[in-house]
Structure 1
Amino acid sequence: MFDEMSLATHINYLIKQDEVEGFATQNTSGHAFANHAQVFMVRGITQRWKQPIFYHFSGGPVSGFDIAITLKSIILKLTDIGLTVCTVICDQGANNCTGLKYLCHQTKIEKLQKGEETENDFFFEIGGQKIFPLYDPPHLLKCIRNNFLNHNIVYYEEGKKKVAKWDHIITAYNMDPYFGSLRLMPKLTDQHVLKTKFAK
């Protein structure tokens, strides 16, 4: 799991270490001020544990290529200590998508050079282990919601064309209180549903 976040630029002098902190530590030329941080975390699938394992600061968003290089290095080190990496999870940021596509493309090229077919284009291999990239479900839901606010969803049911609209959600929300104690959406508020009160 990895993520990138914006930071406020700040320079701090550490007297005991005789160091100045606040400069980028990776992926910048010269001494750019750090205004982004990237964090990588490992978590168990069958057991509930998680551990941040790597972070760095940069003077802007990290490129997709650099994300791919860092991710590959981290996965190799995790494999060396006995962990099996099955998937990587991130949001749908453009640089994250570019880095993951680069790793998938490299795997496809390597397989084609060996004369092997790939049954799925969206996976990559590191150290012989297949790794499947996934996008963070909360971000996927947010993107669907944001698209649904501005566009209708067209789908087909038993051969008939149907259209889902945000107005249908508003209608269901307005009807819900009339069911009394059998409310189906008790946690929804106006801020979740009404565009005029909506907080993205």
Structure 2
Amino acid sequence: MASRSENKLLKEKLKRRDTKCGNLVQQLKEQKLLSSEAADLLHMNFSEETLSLINNELQASASTTSKTHRYSEAVKEFSVTVHFYSPKAYDYLRGILHLPHPSLIRQWAASMDCEPGFLKDVLNKLGQELTDNTDMRDVCVMFDAMSIKKECVYDGKTGSFAGGVNFAKYMDSKSEMATEALFFMVVGVKGRWKMPFGYFLRKAGGEMQGQLVKDAVCLLSEKGFNVIAVTCDGSYANQKIATLLGCSLDVNSLKSSFPHPDDPCKEVFFLFDACHLLKNVRNCIGDLKILKQRPTN
């Protein structure tokens, strides 16, 4: 008799949880714990079907007190996404649902191979996604560098020092301290998605970047993607890279594409970011005040 009563109470508890779960994203948005953009992304990526998987996981864990509970992939994906966009929102959710502790999420991230280079796990995942959604096939590659603090730190996970110049398999000169991190990201042409898939630590400048661009295009092509263009800002170093790849920036013989590394009959366009070019013009006008065009014959 007691068992039936306990089962009834448990079912009522799970029913209340199910009702709450369907409105959680909306609650987070209303309480301003989650931005509208992040809420839309959660609604788009975590449909009712996926939320049902989370509910099932909650139901399975409701009757156990084990500290070694194994979370399903759906719960892991949901937890990592929410925690990434808003740790405060995630803490709020943990007060309602049975979700992994933030330290466990950090352990999952630490178990991934995120050493400098092109990330194999990311590329493999992109290849799997492409199999299910062929609209992802047409892509562009973006790359950019950001300044980092010049510092040598000890990595307890690998038992080595980090902070030196690191081009992964291409060149490893850790005796020199890196001043920039160079990132590569793939962006969908037909859909609203983007994904970083590689990074390197370098000193300012460097001609190694041209080979990295070629390899980025080839790696994506091997996974079935059609790389249409490469985009970056219009810095002097990137203009030099464009020339090394086979483009021509001479106004009299302009060529804004280069041969595909794996298929010379196919061209890949090289585009400078328009917003960055406008900023350069603005700065130039601000400094010089007057611009004059050279007379042409």
TM-score bracket, normalised by the shorter chain, equals: 0.5 to 0.7
Alpha-carbon distance, 1:147 to partner: 2.1
One-letter amino acid of the counterpart of residue 56, structure 1: F
2:178 equivalent among 13, 20, 34: 34
Q: Which has the larger radius of gyration?
A: 2
Q: Could you list the per-position Cα deviations for residues 74-103 of structure 1 after superposition, in whole angstroms to 9, with x for gaps in the alignment?
A: 101111111111111111111111111111
Structure 1 Cα separation of the partners of residues 187 and 174 of structure 2: 35
1:73 equivalent among 209, 212, 215: 215
2:258 equivalent among 102, 120, 124: 124
Alpha-carbon distance, 1:3 to partner: 0.5
SS at structure 2 position matched to 1:85? strand
TM-score normalised by length of structure 2:
0.44
Unmatched tracts of structure 1, length 5 or more: 107-118, 156-200
Compared CA separation, residues 70 and 148, structure 1 to 2 (3 A):
same
Q: Could you list the per-position Cα deviations for residues 92-142 of structure 1 after superposition, in whole angstroms to 9, with x for gaps in the alignment?
A: 111111111111259xxxxxxxxxxxx962210112331111111221110
SS at structure 1 position matched to 2:226? coil
Alpha-carbon distance, 1:148 to partner: 2.4
The equivalent residue for 1:151 is 289
1:135 equivalent among 239, 247, 272: 272
Pick the structure with more helix per residue: 2
Structure 1 Cα separation of the partners of residues 254 and 226 of structure 2: 20
Is contact 1:66-1:99 (8 Å) kept?
no
Q: Aligned residue pairs: how many? A: 141
SS at structure 1 position matched to 2:255? coil
Structure 2 Cα separation of the partners of residues 62 and 154 of structure 1: 30
The percent identity for this pair of structures is 28
SS at structure 2 position matched to 1:31? strand
Is contact 1:2-1:90 (8 Å) kept?
yes
Unmatched tracts of structure 2, length 5 or more: 1-141
Compared CA separation, residues 8 and 66, structure 1 to 2 (3 A):
same
SS at structure 2 position matched to 1:99? helix
TM-score normalised by length of structure 1:
0.63
The equivalent residue for 1:49 is 193
Is contact 2:258-2:269 (8 Å) kept?
yes
What RMSD, in angstroms, separates the aligned Cα atoms of the two structures? Answer: 2.3
